């Protein structure tokens, strides 16, 4: 299969899945089965692209030319391939989980849900493979729009309010800042292509570089850098599969992915480094990391806690770009994969707990670990990966970021990464500790300190719901061992200059 065809297929398959969803709206199993097959085929296509990449790295497909130099073009480069692989791979797992969750919870409007989901994947693939900023912007907006019905899915007042904040902030920042930044860039350079080493060097100088960068940074609302982060907790009203794939993987990673693309291919790492234009961003990202973690500690609602954790972790990636060193950028890219795997595990565990017990608050989960050992074991592994502990994938991302910060001479950033790890421990591991080792207070213990009865009955959520987080937890473990390959694969984005 040629690269061109594969690239087009990555867009076509999710669209077909969306279409099949509508066709089979009255045949539940057929509909969900079709999407499942689509997700597997999509993953296959992406993996195929991945394998062909080494042989033919510079192939692009122009879909539509608006005017000379401005076109919708697809191409595959390492960062995009990594992102697409994660998103499509996790789509399979999330789809299984989503089917289990929607059925287990008796949610309504399955067809609308799965159709929008497929469309969101379509937009994500578009982002991953866009060859220029214009294409990326189009798909970026499409992603916002396609996920809106998913956020508002429950159709309650809360859901509508959350969805409104979601759309308002994402649309507002992208049009108000990102579009301006893109037009400005176009104005300066006459191109929007992603080019190794950047396109802005020599075209702009002085404080304007920092201002243009700021427009990009704040324009990419999906990266949830403070103070434009409110949409992410607001989006937590969505059903958990949405939070899992979209708000831990696809949407937010589209944000930081765009951030990295801008840093690496529009500005260029060296350009950022020599002008020092991203210095302020190091501080902002650091603040974002710490403040979001502190807020996470105060949240009793598990999904809200995870959402703030995501905000904090996304800023790791922004930080990696802002460090303007090759190790930092690599660390950022690596962290996209590591965080995706870890955080989706946590969200699916949250969903599993909700399906089994309808509990959403951390304070109510005391003693649940003994009842749901698999879910909580997966949660533990996901947490350890997010914290960045061996032998889980998260530790490599953090290691590269530390080395990147050391390269940049940014000791403050190293301190932030260290403190953040401890804050992660403080807000994630209590869930495991209380879940496994404290007695459930509901049947009031006779005396203070009466221990857990050793034979609490195991009552897990349905298999379709429990299996996916267990799989992704194993994925976290495997990523630790394959991190070397990922690093090697990503290397070209920071080497060999222009």
Partner 1 sequence: MSDKKIGDDAENLPWLGRKLLWVDNPANVKRVFQVLILICIGLFFSDFIYARHGKFEFEQYWGFYGAFGFIAFCIVIFGAKALRTLIKRDEDYYAPHVVDTEEYPDSGLDKASYKDD
Partner 2 sequence: MIDAFPPAFIFLIVATLLPLIPGGSVRATIMLLVPVASFWLIWNAPTGMDAQFEFFGFTLTLMRVDKLSVIFGLIFSVAAFLSSLYAFKVHDRVQQSATLFYAGSAIGAVFAGDLISLFFFWEGTAIASVFLIWARGTEGAYHTGMRYLIVQIGSGVILIAGVGLLYQQTGSIAFDKMVLESLGTWLIFLAFGIKCAFPLLHNWLQDSYPAATVTGTVVLSAFTTKLAIYALARGFPGTEILIYIGAVMTIFPIFFAEIENDLRRVLAYSLNNQLGFMVVGIGIGTPMALNGTAAHAFAHILYKALLFMSVGAVLHRTGTSKASELGGLYKTMPLTMIFCVVGAASISAFPLFSGFVSKSLILDASATTGHWIVWLVLVFASAGVLSHSGIKIPFFTFFAHDSGKRPKEAPTHMLLAMGLTAFLCVAIGVYPAMLYSLLPFDVEYHPYTASHVISQLQLLFFALLAFGVLMRAGVYPPELRAINLDFDWTYRRLLPKIIGTVSAVASTIWAAIIGFAMRRINNIISGLYRTHGPEGPIAKVWPTGSMVLWIAMLLAATLLVSFIDLM
Residue 447 interaction partner, one of partner 2, partner 1, none, beta carbon < 5-8 Å per kind: partner 1
Per-residue burial over 328-361, b if 16 or more Cβ lie within 10 Å, else e, is bbbbbbbbbbbbbbbbbbbbbbbbbbbbbeeebe
Q: Contact with partner 1 (CB under 8 A): which of 29, 451, 455, 457?
A: 451
DSSP code per residue over 411-442: HHHHHHHHHHHHHHHHHHHHHHHHHHHS--SS
Tokens of 88: 């499509």
Residue 229 interaction partner, one of partner 1, partner 2, none, beta carbon < 5-8 Å per kind: none
Q: Contact with partner 1 (CB under 8 A): which of 58, 448, 455, 496?
A: 448
Least gap, CB of 398 to partner 2 (angstroms):
8
Q: Contact with partner 1 (CB under 8 A): which of 454, 455, 457, 496?
A: 454
Q: Does 443 bind partner 1 (CB under 8 A)?
A: no
Least gap, CB of 205 to partner 2 (angstroms):
12
Distance separating alpha carbons of residues 495 and 484, to the nearest angstrom:
16
Distance separating alpha carbons of residues 473 and 219, to the nearest angstrom:
33
Q: Does 138 bind partner 2 (CB under 8 A)?
A: no
Per-residue burial over 241-258, b if 16 or more Cβ lie within 10 Å, else e, is bbbbbbbbbbbbbbbbbb
Q: Contact with partner 2 (CB under 8 A): which of 29, 358, 449, 457?
A: 449
Considering only residues 47 to 66 of the shown chain, the ones binding partner 2 according to CB under 8 A are none
Count of CB atoms within 10 A of residue 318's CB? 28
Q: Does 202 bind partner 2 (CB under 8 A)?
A: no
Q: Contact with partner 2 (CB under 8 A): which of 22, 418, 458, 463?
A: 418
CA-wise closest residue to 236 among 309, 319, 285? 309
Residue 425 interaction partner, one of partner 1, partner 2, none, beta carbon < 5-8 Å per kind: partner 2
65: helix, strand or coil? strand
132: helix, strand or coil? strand
Distance separating alpha carbons of residues 188 and 321, to the nearest angstrom:
22
Least gap, CB of 131 to partner 1 (angstroms):
59
Least gap, CB of 339 to partner 2 (angstroms):
17
DSSP code per residue over 256-310: HHHHHHIIIIII-HHHHHHHTTTHHHHHHHHHHHHHHHHHHHH--BHHHHHHHHH
Considering only residues 304 to 363 of the shown chain, the ones binding partner 2 according to CB under 8 A are none
Q: Does 450 bind partner 1 (CB under 8 A)?
A: yes
CA-wise closest residue to 61 among 77, 53, 73, 71? 73
Q: Contact with partner 2 (CB under 8 A): which of 406, 464, 471, 474?
A: 406
Interface segment toward partner 1; rule CB under 8 A; list 59-67, 110-118, 403-411, 441-449? 441-449
Closer to partner 2 by Cβ: residue 66 or 418 = 418
471: helix, strand or coil? helix
Distance separating alpha carbons of residues 235 and 108, to the nearest angstrom:
18
**Residues lying near partner 2 in the complex (CB under 8 A):** 152, 160, 163-164, 167-168, 171-172, 175-176, 179-180, 183-184, 187-188, 208, 384, 387-391, 395-396, 398-399, 402-403, 405-407, 411, 414-415, 417-418, 421-422, 425-426, 429-430, 433-434, 436-439, 448-449, 451-452, 454, 483-484, 487
Q: For binding to partner 1 (CB under 8 A), which residues are involved?
A: 447-454
């Amino acid at each position: 299969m040629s690269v061109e065809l594969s690239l087009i297929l990555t867009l076509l398959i999710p669209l077909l899945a969306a279409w099949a969803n509508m066709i089979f709206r009255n045949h539940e199993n057929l509909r969900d089965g079709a999407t499942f097959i689509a997700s597997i085929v999509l993953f296959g296509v992406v993996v195929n692209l991945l394998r062909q990449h080494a042989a033919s790295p510079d192939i692009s497909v122009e879909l539509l030319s608006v005017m000379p130099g401005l076109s919708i073009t697809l191409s595959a480069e390492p960062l995009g391939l990594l992102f697409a692989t994660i998103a499509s791979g996790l789509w399979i797992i999330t789809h299984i989980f989503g089917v289990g969750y929607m059925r287990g919870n008796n949610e309504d409007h399955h067809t609308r849900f799965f159709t929008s989901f497929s469309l969101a994947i379509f937009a994500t693939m578009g982002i991953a493979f866009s060859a220029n900023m214009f294409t990326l912007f189009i798909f970026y907006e499409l992603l916002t729009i396609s996920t809106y019905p998913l956020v508002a899915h429950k159709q309650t007042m809360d859901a509508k309010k959350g969805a409104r904040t979601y759309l308002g902030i994402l649309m507002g920042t992208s049009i108000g800042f990102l579009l301006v930044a893109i037009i400005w860039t176009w104005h300066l350079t006459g191109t929007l292509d992603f080019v190794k080493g950047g396109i802005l060097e020599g075209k702009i100088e002085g404080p304007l570089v920092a201002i243009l960068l700021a427009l990009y940074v704040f324009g990419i609302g999906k990266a949830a850098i403070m103070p434009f982060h409110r949409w992410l907790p607001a989006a937590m009203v969505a059903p958990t599969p949405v939070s899992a794939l979209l708000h831990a993987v696809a949407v937010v990673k589209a944000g930081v992915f765009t951030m990295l693309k801008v840093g690496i291919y529009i500005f260029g790492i060296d350009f950022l480094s020599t002008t020092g234009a991203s210095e302020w961003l190091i501080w902002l990202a650091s603040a974002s990391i710490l403040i979001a973690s502190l807020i996470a500690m105060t949240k009793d609602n598990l999904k809200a806690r995870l959402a703030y954790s995501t905000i904090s972790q996304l800023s790791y990636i922004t930080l990696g770009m802002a460090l303007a060193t090759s190790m930092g950028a690599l660390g950022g890219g690596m962290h996209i994969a590591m965080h995706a795997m870890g955080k989706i595990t946590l969200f699916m565990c949250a969903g599993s707990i909700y399906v089994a017990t309808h509990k959403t608050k951390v304070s109510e989960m005391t003693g649940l670990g003994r009842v749901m050992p698999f879910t909580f074991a997966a949660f533990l592994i996901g947490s350890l990966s997010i914290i960045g502990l061996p032998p889980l994938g998260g530790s490599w991302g953090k290691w590269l970021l530390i080395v990147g910060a050391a390269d940049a001479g940014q000791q403050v950033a190293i301190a932030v990464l260290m403190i953040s790890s401890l804050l992660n421990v403080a807000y994630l591991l209590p869930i495991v500790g209380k879940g496994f080792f404290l007695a459930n207070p509901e049947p009031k213990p006779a005396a203070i300190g009466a221990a857990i009865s050793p034979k609490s009955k195991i009552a897990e959520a349905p298999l379709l719901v429990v299996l996916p987080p267990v799989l992704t937890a194993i994925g976290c473990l495997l990523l630790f061992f394959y991190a070397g390959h990922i690093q090697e694969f990503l290397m070209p984005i920071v080497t060999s200059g222009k």
